[in-house]
């Protein structure tokens, strides 16, 4: 597959999405261990629909996460709900290749995307939502400087239990302080 080094971090780089990766994405998005964290476990994701979806995503600020050492696709991250007037956005990420979990790739990819969002898209605030059971994601987001700003309580019903939707955000100057220290 062909990837392009748009944003380069320590462990990975972010490239425009290659829609020919739809089969790999379809495999990941049928893995409940991954999709339960994304709120996507109730959807049906087939090859053709995933390709169409990737086509749409590839025209917006969504990027493939590529391992620098091997040039292989390991996941995806991007901005959504971009508000160009108030200059804010939501951010999201998943690493589909589970061999790469807990090795700092998620934090590295998020920091690159956040830097791009603040430096080039001129965002003032970036926000995200995460399920309260997703301790790994929250630990990674805290390393990127995100702080919890509130919870929608008991809004997620999964595994026979209720969980919260946790909201976290960061301002541009807070991020700049973090990366310059």
Ligand X SMILES: CC(C)(COP(=O)(O)OP(=O)(O)OC[C@H]1O[C@@H](n2cnc3c(N)ncnc32)[C@H](O)[C@@H]1OP(=O)(O)O)[C@@H](O)C(=O)NCCC(=O)NCCS
Determine the Cα–Cα distance for residues 141 and 53; give it in Å rounded to an integer: 26
- The 8-class DSSP code of residue 43 comes to S
User: Could you tell me the CA-to-CA distances from 126 to 8, 53, 76, 105 in Å, in that order?
Assistant: 20, 24, 17, 19
Residue 132 engages ligand X in binding (rule: CB under 6 A): no
Which residues are within 8 A (CB) of 140 and not within 5 positions of it... i.e. 6 or more apart?
106, 107, 110
Tell me the window of 20-28, 53-61, 104-112, 147-155 that interacts with ligand X (CB under 6 A). Answer: 104-112
Determine which residue in the list 57, 89, 114, 137 makes contact with ligand X, applying CB under 6 A. Answer: 137
- Which CA distances in Å does 33 have to 27, 36, 66, 134? 12, 6, 21, 11
Stretch that binds ligand X, among 17-25, 56-64, 82-90, 131-139 (CB under 6 A): 131-139
Position 101 contacts ligand X (CB under 6 A): yes
* Range in contact with ligand X (rule: CB under 6 A) among 51-59, 81-89, 103-111, 114-122: 103-111
Closer Cβ to ligand X, 81 or 122, answer by number:
81
Count the Cβ atoms, other than its own, within 10 Å of residue 41: 15
When asked if residue 89 is in the footprint of ligand X (CB under 6 A), the reply is no
Enumerate residues 61-80 that contact ligand X by CB under 6 A.
Answer: 75
Interface ranges with ligand X (CB under 6 A): 34, 37-38, 75, 93-95, 101-107, 130, 134-137, 139-140
């Amino acid at each position: 597959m062909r990837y392009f080094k748009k944003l380069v971090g320590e462990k990975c780089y972010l490239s425009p999405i290659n829609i020919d990766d739809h089969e790999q994405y379809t495999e990941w998005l049928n893995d409940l261990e991954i999709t339960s964290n994304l709120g996507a476990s109730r959807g049906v994701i087939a090859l053709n629909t995933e390709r169409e979806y990737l086509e749409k995503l590839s025209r917006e600020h969504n990027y493939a996460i590529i391992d620098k050492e091997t040039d292989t696709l390991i996941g995806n991250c991007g901005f959504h709900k971009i508000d160009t007037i108030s200059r804010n956005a939501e951010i999201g990420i998943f690493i589909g290749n589970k061999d790469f979990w807990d090795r700092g790739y998620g934090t590295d990819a998020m920091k690159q995307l956040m830097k791009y969002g603040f430096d080039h898209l001129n965002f003032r605030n970036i926000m995200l939502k995460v399920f309260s059971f997703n301790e790994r994601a929250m630990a990674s987001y805290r390393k990127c400087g995100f702080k919890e700003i509130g919870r929608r309580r008991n809004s997620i019903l999964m595994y026979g239990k209720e969980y919260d939707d946790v909201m976290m955000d960061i301002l541009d100057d807070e991020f700049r302080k973090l990366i310059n220290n």
